[in-house]
Amino acid sequence: MNAQPFESRRFAGSSLAVVMGTMATLMVIVGIAAEYTTNVNRLVQRTTTLQTAIAAADATLEQSFSNWRAICRANPTVPLATNSFSAIPLPTSSQLSLPNSATFAKAGVLSDLTDEYDSNYTVSNVKIVAVDGTYQPLASASTAPPPAVGMAQTGTLNTTSASYNYIASADVSLPAVRGATVAKVRRVFSKQQLSPWNYAIFYVDPLEIHPGPPFTVTGWVHTNYNLYTAHDTLTFADKVTYASDWFTNFMPGDLRHPGETPTSPSWPSNLPPARDIALQPFGMDSTVIFATNDANPNNDSYHELIELPNGSASDPLVNSRYWDQASVAIQVDASNNVTIGRPNTDGTLTPFASSNPLYTMFNTAITTNQTIQDNREAANIRLVTLDISKIENAGSPPTYKASTFNGIVYIYDKSNSTSTRRAVRLINGTKIPTMGLTVASANPVYIQGDFNTGGAPPSNGNPGDPTQPQASGYTRAPSAVIADAVNILSNSWTDANSFSGTSSRVATNTTVNTAILSGIVPTAPVGGDGSYSGGAENFPRFLEDWSHATFTYYGSMVELYQSQQSIGEWGKANVYVPPTRRWYFDVNFKVHPPPGSLMLYSYVKGRWTML
């Protein structure tokens, strides 16, 4: 057989070498691909496992938050130490959708933020630790967290707001391809305390603001429900928040704005109205503490704050009612008999002896059996009048005649009914003692004339200077009027003219410097009579022709309930003509709130980290 030519043999050998080389290369590529795929699978598995661990840690912290908040709500005014949360239950495997394990969860036992991760447990180091304002642990488990406070607009510390901080931890360990995957998750829990007097306008119910003439709201605005703004004459100058939704429209059921095209208000370009959490008075969930369908007379609504407690039933607002907070109560009965005494937590009144300084101070300040016509209520209203000038000593600065007075007086006529209408009137209130004054009543209150101005203020001039709502040499004191409804009567008010038409009740420039907490008559629901609440622009009510007068107001307006005595709807004829409104939030309330305790609490999940 003839041998293959040399060139043919060389070609065959070369081809074999190429094939062998190609196969070797392919094997290397396959090996690399297999290794890569294995590594990717491992990474995917570890990533998936880590995500599962993080989700389980998050779920653990969610459960911790719910329990922490419930414990805090039981004692909302008390900052709680770390050991207050030691009994919080651990999560179960079913709650976290993880495999069952005999050693599933372990609580942390140390009082600081020391890492207590335990590899023998799927979930470990579950605890809540009280910390200071810089998130550092405290001296011991029994040490309450100090308040973290900020600055007020006045440049001093804001004494009416604070945050109490805690750090919650949860470590979750899950098996992976090579060892365990561990997620160590931490989150800040904050109990935030804030006085409603930090707001220019604060509502728990739907908030409607539809002013006619141009109207600017200075200060914060918040509603725990919906916000309705439909007039471009409205300007917000500061933060506006709502817990539910915001509508550039009129509230459903409001038929008092027929044919109007809603227009948007104005606000700072960097601060549009925004959604926020609901802020609960006293840190208690109103859906839990109130019920109108049970036999308990003490838990119907926040209107309880201005009512007397019924001593025969449990009281969720015990010690928070203004009846409980007052150092003196004044009671008027159907026959105009006056009792001045100490209010008791069961709703009874212990009369003072005639020699008691508080009795002496208030006895000469009270006048009974005066009657006016309130056209909004379409009723004659019998008044008990409190002369503020009779309870303070003349001088600069003014002081109370009785040093034992805590600045809170509760005054009411207990004979009010649908047929016998009663109310309280405040007169001669230009000077308020420096410690401040809070007047509370279950009845409506009428403020007559300048209030807390020190005399005739520049704001009442023609033209007036609204930036000076007090007379020279006088410093307006912290004050609040808390009632079923609050009405403003001008400096020119006379009782006799109240029975005549609006043209006989002509107002003059008047200035009032006080916080107001009162109720509203809400806009009718869809299908109702079409009534409008009057909006926040009519939160303080009027009974005069203010068409040529200015009402200057410095304060804070808080709505927590619906009126139960002054239930006349807004918009009736022959009631009032609106004033020129010059309303300002009183920034002094951020440092010096009115006498009495009224706080909002919110429970917030803050910054989140993974170690």
186 and 199 housed in the same domain: no
Res 36: pLDDT? 57
- List the structure tokens of 246: 């915001």
Contact 340, 358 (CB under 8 A): yes
Closest CA to 229 of 214, 251, 213, 203: 251
Residues 175 and 204 in one domain: no
Q: Which of 470, 417, 462, 409 is nearest to 443 (CA)?
A: 417
- Are 217 and 168 in the same domain? no
On whether both 416 and 463 belong to a single domain, the answer is: yes
Half-sphere exposure of 231 (CA within 13 A, CB side): 16
Q: What is the pLDDT of residue 41?
A: 57
* Distance separating alpha carbons of residues 8 and 315, to the nearest angstrom: 109
CA distances from 579 to 111, 130, 327, 554 (A): 60, 51, 36, 15
Query: Do residues 171 and 124 touch, judged by C-beta distance below 8 A?
Result: yes
Cα separations in angstroms, 324 against 160, 305, 338? 21, 9, 19
Regarding whether 200 and 188 lie in a shared domain, the answer is: no
Please give the pLDDT value at position 129: 97
Q: DSSP letters of 111-139?
A: SS------TTSSEEEEEEEEE-TTS-B-S
Look at residues 172, 243, 189, 165 and name the one whose alpha carbon lies nearest to residue 67: 189
The one-character DSSP state at 506 is B
Give the model's pLDDT for residue 34. Answer: 58
- How many domains does the structure of the chain reveal? 3
Query: What kind and span of H or E run contains 367?
Result: strand 366-374
**Which run of H or E residues covers position 241?**
strand 240-242
Q: Is residue 503 part of a domain?
A: yes
pLDDT score, position 10? 58
Structure tokens at 316: 């969720």
Question: Is position 138 within any domain?
Answer: yes
Three-state SS at 489: strand
As averages over each run of 10 residues, the pLDDT of the chain (611 residues) reads 55 65 71 59 73 94 95 88 95 86 89 91 96 93 90 60 94 86 95 94 98 95 98 98 98 96 97 95 84 93 96 91 97 98 96 97 97 98 98 88 96 97 98 96 98 98 96 96 98 97 97 98 96 98 98 98 98 96 96 93 92 86
The DSSP element (H or E) to which 322 belongs, if any, is helix 322-325
**Is 28 contained in some domain?**
no
Q: Looking at the domain assignment, is residue 346 inside a domain? A: yes
Q: Which helix (H) or strand (E) holds 455?
A: none
Q: Are residues 266 and 164 in the same domain?
A: no
Whether the Cβ atoms of residue 607 and residue 201 lie closer than 8 Å to each other: no
pTM for this one? 0.88
pLDDT at residue 25, as a whole number: 74
User: Which stretch of DSSP H or E encloses residue 502?
Assistant: none
Tokens for 264?
């948007």
Evaluate whether residue 519 is within a structural domain.
yes
- Residues 234, 254, single domain; the answer is yes
Q: What's the burial of 293, exposed, middle or buried (CB within 10 Å: 0-12/13-18/19+)?
A: exposed
> Given this model, what pLDDT does residue 8 score?
56
Residue 422: CB atoms within 10 Å: 21
Mark whether 79 and 145 lie in a shared domain: yes
The domain in which residue 58 lies consists of 40-192+604-610
Q: CA-to-CA distance for 209 and 162, rounded, in angstroms?
A: 29
Amino acid at the residue 184: K
Q: Check whether residue 372 and residue 499 sit in a common domain.
A: yes
Asked if residue 82 and residue 186 are part of one domain, the reply reads: yes
144 exposed, middle or buried (CB, 10 Å; 0-12, 13-18, 19+)? Answer: middle
CA distances from 566 to 534, 541, 560 (A): 14, 10, 15
| DSSP letter assigned to residue 593 | P
- 305 lies in the same domain as 428: yes
| Residue 496 three-state SS | helix
Any domain includes 291: no
In a domain, 19, yes or no: no
Flag whether 594 is in a domain. no
Helix (H), strand (E) counts: the chain: 5, 34
**Using CA atoms, how far apart are residues 117 and 513, in angstroms rounded to an integer?**
57
For residues 592 and 511, the answer to whether their CB atoms sit within 8 Å is: no
At 13, phi and psi to the nearest 5?
A: -65, -40
- Which amino acid is it at 274? A
| Pair 377, 235 in one domain | no
Counting every residue, how long is the chain?
A: 611
Torsion of CA 360, 479, 448, 432, to 10 degrees: 50
Q: d(Cα 507, Cα 450) in Å, to the nearest integer? A: 12
**In sequence order, which residues have a C-beta less than 8 Å from that of residue 376 and are 6 or more positions away?**
541, 543, 566, 568, 569, 570, 572, 575, 576
Q: From CA 154, how far away is CA 173, in angstroms rounded?
A: 50
